[in-house]
Amino acid sequence: MPEDNFHEDPRQHILPVYRPPEEVFVEGQGVYLFTEDGRRYLDFIAGIAVTALGHAHPAMVEALRDQAGKLWHTSNMFRVKGQEELADKICRDTFADRVFFTNSGTEAVECAIKSARKYHWSQGQADRIDIITFTGAFHGRSIGAINAGGNPKYLEGFGPKLPGFVHLEWGDHEALKAAAAAPTAAAIFVEVVQGEGGVRAMPEACIKGLRELCDEHGILLIFDEVQCGMGRTGKLWGYQWADGVEPDILCAAKGIGGGFPFGACLMTEAVGAPMQPGSHGSTYGGNPLAMAVGNVVWDVISDEAFLANVRRVSGVLQQGLKSLADTHPDKVEAVTGKGLLTGIKLKADPKTLQGLCRDANLLVGVAGNNVLRVAPPLVIEDAHVREAIGVIDRALTEWKLP
Ligand SMILES: *Cc1c(COP(=O)(O)O)cnc(C)c1O
């Protein structure tokens, strides 16, 4: 038997695309994570806005255990009852008429792009292929998604940029009007709260403006709510803060599975109709295990009382973060984001600060543009917020700007 220290570096065979810290978490309970040696961490990043109901939520655990003993997988060549149930709930509670289930956010994005193009193609407008996106966007890591995101760092080394993506400066209204008016325009594709790009919330008036622009030119509006959706902003979807706006397509993932990997592409009947048998597919998408968990998560989060509590507790968090900005004006520039997807914009790279928080048993994330990302489970209580704010406060005091 090889000894425990058989490998010099236990990560030597892992593709080195991530650089995680040393901690190994072996258990989670609610808003806390535990290491092998029993150290407890307050989890205010939630697997990047994924574990919305915290760790080991009893109803999710029970649903998964129950399903695991019955049936794991048949593929989409057979009906999956859990899909039909969850799609019914989603369409009852949202703008959508049709749902495609995926295994990840990126795949929901791929489905959205394909559906948008197919829609125009079915209208006899095959030239309408351009997906209009914005600086700071993040839509995933597939070849399609990195081209949609347009971040040069993520495109570098991976071959030529694909045609059919138009990338605009966030806030450049003139360029946006021109791009939307182009005869090749297919859709505007946007995160209403940018996650990776620096936790930036789009003003509600802009969300409305996008809808009007799309209607004016007969193009589709697609919201990537993989990170900001599923109750994270205090509404089921982040776009619902803008009155009267509905998209044609919406991408969901992360929180929708609460830690079980799955996503969904929601769309109207008009967009869904051309996606006929053979036009798209997935072996695992919407498999019984994912659906068992997804139905539970949906029931909990779509409840208005649950969402009202998210709004309440996010007020407490925002207030705490603002107080940090007031106490540390030399280091904090602004508090950004919406609901429980928040950022502390700093005057330098936040990696060291993130490490100081971790040393004090608080897990937070980072995002583009010197932002410390705070995205706790939606089930946090006021006491957890106070604990986290206390840790960040002390870490900010200790943190030396480079
Ligand atoms: C995380 C994320 C994705 C990609 O989701 P994966 O599950 O990692 O494929 C896409 N869009 C947004 C806005 C995201 O935050």
DSSP per position, 184-209: TEEEEEE-SEESTTT-EEPPHHHHHH
Q: Could you tell me the distance, in angstroms and rounded to a whole number, from the CA of residue 180 to the centre of ligand 1?
A: 25
Question: Which of these, 373, 309, 377, lies nearest to 42 by C-alpha position?
Answer: 377
- Residue 150 CA, ligand 1 centroid: distance in Å: 14
How many angstroms is it from 36 CA to the middle of ligand 1?
A: 29
Atom of ligand 1 nearest to the CA of 145: 10
Give 249's contacts (C-beta < 8 A, 6+ positions apart).
112, 115, 116, 187, 220, 221, 222, 223, 265, 266, 267, 268, 271
Catalytic residues: 138, 224, 254
β-bridge mates for residue 185, sequence order: 130
Choice from 133, 194, 200, 254 to test ligand 1 binding pocket (greatest atom count within 8 A of CB):
254
Single-letter code of the amino acid located at 394: R
Alpha-carbon torsion, ordered 287, 292, 295, 296, to 10 deg: -150
Cβ atoms within 10 Å, residue 148: 28
4 CA from centroid of ligand 1 (Å): 35
Instruction: State which amino acid sits at residue 56.
Output: A
With CA atoms as reference, report the closest residue to 256 among 283, 232, 223, 288: 232
How big, in percent rounded to 5, are the helix, strand and coil portions of the chain? 40, 20, 40
263 Cα: distance to centroid of ligand 1 (angstroms): 9
Closest C-alpha among 246, 309, 245, 239 to residue 52: 309
Query: Which atom, in ligand 1's list, is nearest to the CA of 137?
Result: 13
Dist. CA 181–CA 218, nearest whole Å = 9
Of the candidates 200, 166, 202, the residue with the CA atom closest to the CA atom of residue 185? 166
DSSP 219: -
Provide the pLDDT for residue 1. 46
Note the maximum CA span of the chain.
69
Atom of ligand 1 nearest to the CA of 140: 4
pTM of the predicted protein model: 0.97
Asked whether 127 and 184 are in contact (CB, 8 A), the reply is yes
In ligand 1, the atom with minimum distance to the C-alpha of 194 is: 13
Residues with CB under 6 A from ligand 1: 104-106, 109, 138-140, 191, 195-196, 224, 226-227, 253-254
Interval between CA 96 and ligand 1 midpoint (Å): 20
Ligand 1 centroid – CA 349 distance (Å)? 22
Pocket test for ligand 1, best of 106, 190, 194 (most atoms within 8 A of CB): 106
Q: Which amino acid residue places its CA nearest to atom 10 of ligand 1? A: 139
Instruction: Count Cα neighbours of 173 within 13 Å in the Cβ-side half-sphere.
Output: 6
| Token pair belonging to 399 | 């943190």
Output the residue whose Cα is nearest ligand 1's atom 5.
105
Q: Which domains, from first to last, does the chain contain? A: 3-56+304-398 (3.90.1150.10), 71-301 (3.40.640.10)
**For each of the chain's 402 residues, which pLDDT tens digit applies?**
445 555 588 999 999 999 999 999 999 999 999 999 999 999 999 999 999 999 999 999 999 999 999 999 999 999 999 999 999 999 999 999 999 999 999 999 999 999 999 999 999 999 999 999 999 999 999 999 999 999 999 999 999 999 999 999 988 999 999 999 999 999 999 999 999 999 999 999 999 999 999 999 999 999 999 999 999 999 999 999 999 999 999 999 999 999 999 999 999 999 999 999 999 999 999 999 999 999 999 999 999 999 999 999 999 999 999 999 999 999 999 999 999 999 999 999 999 999 999 999 999 999 998 999 999 999 999 999 999 999 999 999 999 998
The two structure tokens encoding residue 187: 């859709």
